Structure 1
Amino acid sequence: MTYRHILFYKPYGVLSQFTKDTPTRSSLKDYIDIPDIYPVGRLDWDSEGLLLLTNNGQLQHRLCHPQFGHERTYWVQVERIPDAAALTQLQQGVTIQDYRTRQAKVALLPTQPSLPEREPPIRFRKNVPTAWLEMTLTEGKNRQVRRMTAAVGFPTLRLVRVSIAHLGLDNLQPGQWRELTSGELKLLVDLAFAGSIKLKRK
């Protein structure tokens, strides 16, 4: 069996699965024609950015395990401009649905990041400023980033995952995908299986 390892720039409004929940919603099947390949983790339909897919079940299981704790970095556009107290709360962890989030790396971006325009665009509220945060988490609870920013009073307007561990969007555009390089794959396998029997690479 030949293993496939794919990086995909998921556009807004696309389900992180190959089946559709309604006839009108787009899914991964509309973009990736590779049999028996599955996403490692997920992105909500209304989020954008990097998605890793593979047909290597052992690697997928290891990466999805809560103990793996690999870093995922997001650029997050929020309503209004968070103050230092809000940033500290996000960094130290907030309580969402009786769950306390792990410590996270959170910083206010000095300028708007260079990203493709979202389709459809976000809805701005007139006379309400927005800001961009860079948030790096080591966990992936359901809609966690949105719930974290809402918990400190700054609702998320747009959410883009820009990296998973050492893997980044690079030059991918929304809807595009590419295979991992051999070097990227080696780092990923070493990271996922550090301290255990290494996975055979094909």
Structure 2
Amino acid sequence: MKAICVYCGASPGHSPRYADAARGLAATMVNNGIELVYGGGNVGLMGVIADEVMRLGGRATGVIPRALMDKEVGHAGLTRLHVVKDMHERKAMMADLADGFIAMPGGIGTLEELFEIFTWAQLGFHAKPIGLLNAAGFYDALLAFLKHVVDEGFLKEKQATLLLSDASPDALVSRMHAFRGGDGGLLPPEEAAKII
């Protein structure tokens, strides 16, 4: 993996453990020569991970819609900052630039980005690894809910395994390196066509 797209909050959250996790992920990525691709802001966890990647000598590419330049305060100190038309263009560009995806703690925007890229994997539109950095157990309830979705027959178990989870940035990135998309849970083309 040369680049990982990280979805995370424009807020730091209440616990300092979330910012610690962002700095830990930044160090793991830089130590492994992996570029950061993210939403381009300099506030909240977005700013924490971008600042740490740059401080450690790594590369960071931001993608931000023009309308959010002020609200999310576009980061001026990145390797590259792409200012795009809208959220659709933002998410598409981030996906194109990345070899994998990690969701850190965040709000509904982070969840929306995560579930879109997870859905694309389920449908077979990409075979890139997707991870949850489960800092301080932030995603425990979500993982339990996804198990419930499987138990109730709305998600196949092998599709659920497309979403990797770990509290350790090093362990998560290592699992992502070992991930083989192929047919490891992806719908056959004829099933994907039925859903679309």
Q: What is the TM-score with the length of structure 1 in the denominator? A: 0.28
**By percentage of residues, which structure has more strand?**
1
**By percentage of residues, which structure has more helix?**
2
Q: What is the TM-score with the length of structure 2 in the denominator? A: 0.28
Could you say which structure has the larger radius of gyration?
Answer: 1
